[in-house]
C-alpha cells in the first residue's frame, strides 16, 4: 500500500510517499526556520500563510522524487492534530482534496502517534515496546502494546523537554532554533560544572520548570560576556538525559519490556542517542529514528496512516485540533 502523507502542524511543510509503512519512496521537507528566526520563535499566523505558499510545490516535488503518478497512490493522509490549527488546516485540506480528486481514501493521523511511527521506517520494529516521546510540545513515555493500542504511562506536568531546551537556549542568548544549537554547544562544555536538580515527582510524571528556574538562577550570576554557555549547556543536557533515561529504564524493567524507542524532535539529541547506545550494550533492544525522521516530517505521517490512522466512520469529516 502506497500512501502520500502531509505534515503541516507547526513550522515544516512536508510531504512523503511511503510504501507499507516502512519504505520511504520520497521525503520532502520545506522548513520555515529562516522566516521565524527574526521573531525568535514560531509565529502561528505567519506559519499558516507560509504553509499555503509551500504546500503545492512540496507535493509536486514529492511526486517527482518518488517518480510516482497520482493514480499509483492508494491513500492520502495528513496530520489532524495536535498542532497549530491554521497550519493543520492547510495540510488536511490538501490531503482531503487529493483524496476526492483521485477517489482514494483520506486518512487522518495524530501527530504524536506519527512521531512514534518514525521508528517503523527502515526497521523491523514491532510492538510491544516503550517509546520516550520528547518534542517541542510533549514529553511522554508511551507503552505501544500494539500498532493501534498506545497508552501514555508518564507525561510532563509542566513544560515539554523541547520547550525547556528552547527556553534555556534563549536564557543563554542562543538563537532560534535553540535546542539543536544548545546540543552542539554542550559538546565543548563540562557536564559536571553545574549541579542541576532533578524534579521529585510521581513515577508517572515529569517536571522541567524547576530545572529551567535553576538554570536562570545560575545565568543571573554572570555578566552576559562571561556566561559559561558551554558548561551550562553540558550540565543542563546531562540532567535532562539522566531524568528521561532513568524513568524510561525504570518502566522498561517494571513492565519487563526491554524493547525501547525514542521519538520526537528531541530524539535527535546527541546525549539521548548516546544513552540509548549504552543501553543497547547492556542488552536492551533500542531504536531511534534517523535524524531526519525525528523532527517533524511527513514520512512518519504516511507510516502512521498505514499502521494507526485515526479510527472514524467518515474520515472526510475529521476536524483539526490543537491539543491532544
Residues forming contacts to Zn ion in the complex (CB under 5 A) are: 135, 296
How far is it, in rounded angstroms, from Cα 99 to Cα 110?
18
Neighbours of 46 (CB within 10 A): 15
Give the whole-angstrom CA distance, residue 316 versus residue 107. Answer: 8
SS3 label, residue 320:
coil
Q: Can you tell me which of 24, 84, 266, 288 binds ligand KG4, judged by CB under 6 A?
A: 266
Segment holding 296, helix H or strand E? none
Interface with ligand KG4 includes 265 (CB under 6 A)? Answer: yes
The residues in 175-214 that bind ligand KG4, with binding defined as CB under 6 A, are 177-180, 183
Which residue is associated with the grid cell 525522521?
Answer: 293
Evaluate whether 267 touches 119 at the Cβ level (below 8 Å): no
The minimum distance between CB 142 and ligand KG4, in angstroms, equals 14
* Strand-pair category, 23-31 with 12-19: antiparallel
- Choose the contact partner of 218 out of Zn ion, ligand KG4, none; CB within 5 to 8 A by kind: none
Residue from 269, 286, 303, 308 in contact with ligand KG4 (CB under 6 A): 269
Task: Tell me whether residue 99 or residue 269 sits nearer to ligand KG4 (CB atom).
Answer: 269
> Count of CB atoms within 10 A of residue 93's CB?
16
Q: Which is nearer to Zn ion, 99 or 269 (CB)?
A: 269
- Binds ligand KG4 by CB under 6 A, chosen from 17, 268, 298, 320: 268
Q: How far is CA 189 from CA 165, 184, 284, in A?
A: 16, 10, 29
Burial 110-132 (b: 16+ CB within 10 A, else e): bbbbbbbbbbbbeeebebebbbb
Q: Which is nearer to ligand KG4, 2 or 239 (CB)?
A: 239
Query: 90 or 171: whose CB is closer to Zn ion?
Result: 90
Taking the complex as a whole, the smallest distance from the CB of residue 105 to ligand KG4 amounts, in Å, to: 25
Q: Is 296 near ligand KG4 (CB under 6 A)?
A: yes
Pick from 135, 140, 299, 315 the residue near ligand KG4 by CB under 6 A. Answer: 135
Tell me the three cell numbers of residue 185: 554547544
Of the ranges 162-170, 192-200, 227-235, 313-321, which one interacts with ligand KG4 (CB under 6 A)?
Answer: 162-170
Question: What gap in Å lies between CA 124 and CA 114, rounded to an integer?
Answer: 17
Instruction: Order across the sheet with 259-263: list the strands.
Output: 205-206, 149-156, 139-146, 129-134, 259-263, 285-287
Residue 186 or 279: the one with the smaller Cβ distance to ligand KG4 is 186
Helix or strand or coil: residue 201? coil
Binding-site size for ligand KG4 (CB under 6 A) equals 19
* Stretch touching ligand KG4 by CB under 6 A, among 19-27, 30-38, 133-141, 225-233: 133-141
5 binds, among Zn ion, ligand KG4, none (CB under 5 to 8 A by kind): none
Reported as type and span, the H/E element at residue 237 is helix 229-254
Kindly write out the interface string for residues 3-42 of this chain, putting x where it contacts ligand KG4 by CB under 6 A and - elsewhere. -------x--------------------------------
Q: Which of 21, 81, 137, 289 forms a contact with ligand KG4 (CB under 6 A)?
A: 137
Residues engaged in binding ligand KG4 (CB under 6 A): 10, 135-137, 162, 165-166, 177-180, 183, 264-266, 268-269, 295-296
Amino acid at each position: 500500500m502506497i500512501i502520500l502523507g502531509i505534515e503541516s502542524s507547526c513550522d515544516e511543510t512536508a510531504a512523503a510517499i511511503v510504501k507499507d509503512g516502512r519504505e520511504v519512496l520520497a521525503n520532502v521537507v520545506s522548513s520555515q526556520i529562516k522566516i521565524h528566526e527574526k521573531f525568535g520563535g514560531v509565529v502561528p499566523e505567519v506559519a499558516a500563510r507560509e504553509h499555503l505558499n509551500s504546500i503545492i510545490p512540496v507535493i509536486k516535488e514529492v511526486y517527482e522524487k518518488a517518480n510516482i503518478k497520482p493514480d499509483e497512490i492508494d491513500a492520502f493522509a495528513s496530520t489532524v492534530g495536535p498542532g497549530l490549527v491554521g497550519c493543520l488546516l492547510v495540510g488536511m485540506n490538501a490531503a482531503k482534496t487529493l483524496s476526492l480528486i483521485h477517489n482514494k481514501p483520506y486518512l487522518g493521523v495524530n501527530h504524536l502517534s506519527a512521531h512514534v511511527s518514525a521508528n517503523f521506517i527502515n526497521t523491523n520494529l514491532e510492538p510491544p515496546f516503550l517509546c520516550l516521546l520528547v518534542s517541542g510540545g510533549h514529553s511522554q513515555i508511551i507503552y505501544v502494546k500494539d500498532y493501534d493500542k498506545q497508552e501514555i504511562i508518564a507525561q510532563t506536568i509542566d513544560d515539554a523537554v523541547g520547550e525547556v531546551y528552547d527556553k534555556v537556549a534563549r536564557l543563554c542568548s542562543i538563537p532560534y532554533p535553540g535546542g539543536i544549537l544548545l546540543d552542539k554547544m554542550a559538546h565543548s562544555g563540562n557536564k559536571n560544572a553545574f549541579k542541576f536538580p532533578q524534579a521529585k515527582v510521581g513515577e508517572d510524571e515529569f517536571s522541567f520548570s524547576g530545572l529551567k528556574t535553576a538554570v536562570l538562577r545560575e545565568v543571573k550570576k554572570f555578566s552576559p560576556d562571561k556566561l559559561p554557555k558551554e558548561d551550562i549547556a553540558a550540565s543542563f543536557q546531562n540532567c535532562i538525559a539522566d531524568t528521561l533515561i532513568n524513568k524510561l529504564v525504570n518502566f522498561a524493567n517494571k513492565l519487563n519490556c526491554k524493547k525501547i524507542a525514542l521519538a520526537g524532535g528531541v530524539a535527535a539529541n546527541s546525549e539521548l542517542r548516546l544513552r540509548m547506545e549504552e543501553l543497547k550494550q547492556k542488552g536492551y533492544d533500542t531504536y531511534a529514528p534517523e535524524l531526519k525522521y525525528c523532527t517533524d516530517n511527513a514520512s512518519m505521517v504516511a507510516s502512521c496512516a498505514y499502521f494507526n490512522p485515526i479510527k472514524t466512520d467518515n474520515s472526510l469529516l475529521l476536524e483539526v485540533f490543537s491539543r491532544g
